[in-house]
């Protein structure tokens, strides 16, 4: 049974990935400093997996440590026979990265570099990196493909993603690493169990949790940042993907790394990039309208000035993932909004 390391696991996407890989039969090691999460998620992960009545539950271990501490990272590798890594670790609030750029470079880039150095010393050279569609040049006209130009990121968070992708490309070229960069944007909704979901304490950074807090009367109104973009209705457009579809893409990516078709004589490491998106953009106003229909009430909102880091449109073509990974998104954004509202209603009654 193979063992994977999930870095900074207790957040929204990461906890779902832990469940998916445990259910697929992999031992999972979780590594997080709990700077923006809670250790109680590990009990919820165990509960979800035990509910599924698996014949043999793989090992789940948790380390409450920090990637920027090389001795702690080394100890994890010394104590476990790690076969491969999914690297999620990052601070990820765009506005915060503009205010605290050095923290983001330290946390995201320096932490990643320490992880990579330890991986190399233990001869672990298979990695899936949780990258972002934000590495594409902001002045490109979507939809993007994996061959679209990157660079010219507009804030430290997005820049950190671009830097890490290029570090991994160098390691592939010069140290024979096998690398998959998964680029995605705006995952939504929660696990079907109702135990793990995105539920930030304050005003969320992501649109759908923000909308749900307004719909549930936790916040008074939704702020819409700009209504004069060159889009279908003047508000910016993004591609929203269901988190369950997204983590299934991570599993498919690892199965691709394991494929015997990729074990070719003379291979000296490789890099593959995959877009994991639906391929359809949805505007902020469309999200508001869909939600208003579902909750049978107009969602209150107010128009605010544009933010400096926002771009008009970001969505992609995911044909490469369908062709090589046998993956495609299955859940529409309307269904994700409906599922989110059902989920909130259910938890409100509990």
Residues designated catalytic:
157
Structure tokens at 196: 């793990």
Phi, then psi, of 181 in degrees rounded to 5? -100, 115
Distance of CA 164 to the CA centre of its chain: 15
> For residues 170 and 127, what is the distance between their CA atoms, to the nearest angstrom?
13
Please report which helix (H) or strand (E) contains residue 7, including its range: strand 3-7
Residue 348: how many other CB atoms lie within 10 Å: 8
User: Distance of CA 156 to CAs 113, 159, 219, 237, 283, Å?
Assistant: 17, 5, 28, 21, 25
Q: Which of 339, 341, 350, 37 is nearest to 217 (CA)?
A: 341
Neighbouring-strand partners of residue 85: 5, 127
């Amino acid at each position: 049974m193979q063992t994977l390391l999930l870095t900074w696991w207790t957040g929204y996407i990461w906890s779902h990935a832990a469940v998916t890989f445990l259910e697929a039969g992999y031992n999972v090691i979780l590594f997080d400093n709990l700077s923006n999460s809670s250790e109680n998620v590990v009990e919820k992960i165990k509960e979800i997996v035990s509910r599924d009545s698996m014949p043999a539950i793989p090992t789940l271990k948790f380390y409450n440590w920090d990637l920027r501490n090389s001795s702690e990272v080394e100890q994890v590798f010394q104590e476990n026979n790690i076969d491969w890594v999914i690297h999620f670790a990052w601070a990820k609030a765009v506005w915060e990265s503009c205010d605290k750029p050095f923290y983001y470079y330290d946390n995201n880039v320096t932490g990643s570099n320490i992880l990579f150095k330890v991986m190399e010393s233990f001869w672990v050279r298979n990695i899936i990196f949780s990258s972002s569609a934000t590495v594409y040049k902001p002045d490109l006209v979507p939809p993007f493909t994996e061959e679209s130009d990157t660079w010219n990121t507009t804030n430290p968070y997005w820049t950190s993603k671009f830097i890490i992708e290029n570090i991994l490309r160098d390691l592939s070229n010069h140290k024979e690493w096998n690398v998959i960069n998964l680029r995605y944007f705006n995952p939504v909704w929660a696990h079907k169990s109702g135990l793990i979901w995105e539920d930030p304490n304050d005003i969320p950074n992501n649109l759908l949790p923000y909308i749900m807090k307004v719909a549930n009367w936790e916040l008074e109104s939704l702020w819409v940042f700009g209504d004069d973009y060159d889009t279908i209705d003047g508000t910016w457009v993004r591609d929203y993907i269901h988190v369950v579809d997204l983590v299934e893409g991570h599993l498919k990516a690892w199965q691709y790394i394991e494929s015997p078709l990729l074990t070719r004589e003379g291979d000296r490491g490789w890099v593959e990039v995959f877009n994991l998106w639906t391929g359809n953009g949805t505007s902020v106003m469309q999200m508001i309208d869909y939600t208003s229909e579902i909750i049978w009430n107009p969602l209150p909102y107010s128009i605010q000035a544009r933010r400096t880091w926002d771009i008009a449109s970001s969505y992609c073509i995911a044909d490469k993932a369908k062709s090589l990974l046998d993956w495609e998104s299955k859940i529409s954004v309307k269904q994700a909004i409906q599922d989110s509202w059902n989920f909130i209603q259910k938890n409100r009654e509990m």
